[in-house]
Chain A
């Protein structure tokens, strides 16, 4: 799993690439929580290149969401791959997560 990170206008944008599964979840969770802790609590998570995600991956998203909200920020998911979209819709978490297909719209939401 590869994680890249950049900051635009004080908003953290992290992109994940690979499989977000049990083997990778602890490290990804720790890294995302560090980004949230060190930033403003506003995180856009680009999941376009995540080819598969299991319940461990979902729990990483939930941890990031709760950490961001605890800092009065928010989490926005960007560009869901088909596999990720399928899992999020199966678990109905699209009712909780803000999901965008456009980075500018995600940035506007978190400004």
Chain B
């Protein structure tokens, strides 16, 4: 059986912790590994607030959480400026850091790709959707 819940916040950085709290509760309820799921969701919503809506509050952000016994899916939707084509694909994989070249640049997309098995992006009819999923091992727990 698949179970789904959709959460919505307005595009304010201060509201993201509300999503984190709700997601943490869902992960405890379903005995899911909370840490990678929370990282992926927070980074995805950060990107929406910062880039799709350019830090402007008052716009909608939706997070759909879909649980099936062997897979967890997250979909983050917004109505802001779409991500540039190829940006997701261009996000580098995690690599050993070079102290001399260390940069405070955002690692958001890289972290999302590291925490989830599949990550896809679609901009259609004014709605942008970042879809992420992660396989759940039998008995995988927090």
If the complex has contacts A22-B46, A58-B107, are A52 and B13 also in contact, measured as CB distance less than 8 A? no
Contact of B97 among A23, A54, A93 (CB under 8 A): A93
Residue of A nearest to B105 (CB): A59
Contact of B46 among A55, A65, A93 (CB under 8 A): A55
Bound complex: CA A59 to CA B103 (Å): 8
Residue of A nearest to B12 (CB): A23
The dominant DSSP class at the A interface is helix
Bound complex: CA A92 to CA B95 (Å): 7
If the complex has contacts A23-B13, A59-B106, A66-B104, are A90 and B114 also in contact, measured as CB distance less than 8 A? yes
The total of chain B residues at the interface (CB under 8 A) is 28
Cβ contact within 8 Å between A66 and B102 = yes
Across the interface, which residues of A come within 8 angstroms of B49, CB to CB? 22
The total of chain A residues at the interface (CB under 8 A) is 24
Residue of B nearest to A69 (CB): B99
Interface assignment of A40: CB less than 8 Å from any CB of chain B: no
Give min CB distance, B7 to chain A, whole Å: 17
Residue of B nearest to A62 (CB): B104
**B residues at A contact (CB < 8 Å):** 13-14, 16-17, 20, 35, 38-39, 42-43, 46, 49-50, 94-97, 99, 102-108, 111, 114-115
30 contacts between A and B (CB under 8 A): A19-B20, A21-B17, A22-B16, A23-B13, A23-B14, A52-B20, A54-B46, A54-B108, A55-B46, A55-B106, A55-B111, A56-B46, A56-B106, A59-B104, A59-B106, A59-B107, A60-B104, A62-B104, A65-B102, A90-B39, A90-B111, A91-B94, A91-B97, A91-B107, A91-B111, A92-B94, A93-B97, A95-B97, A96-B99, A96-B102
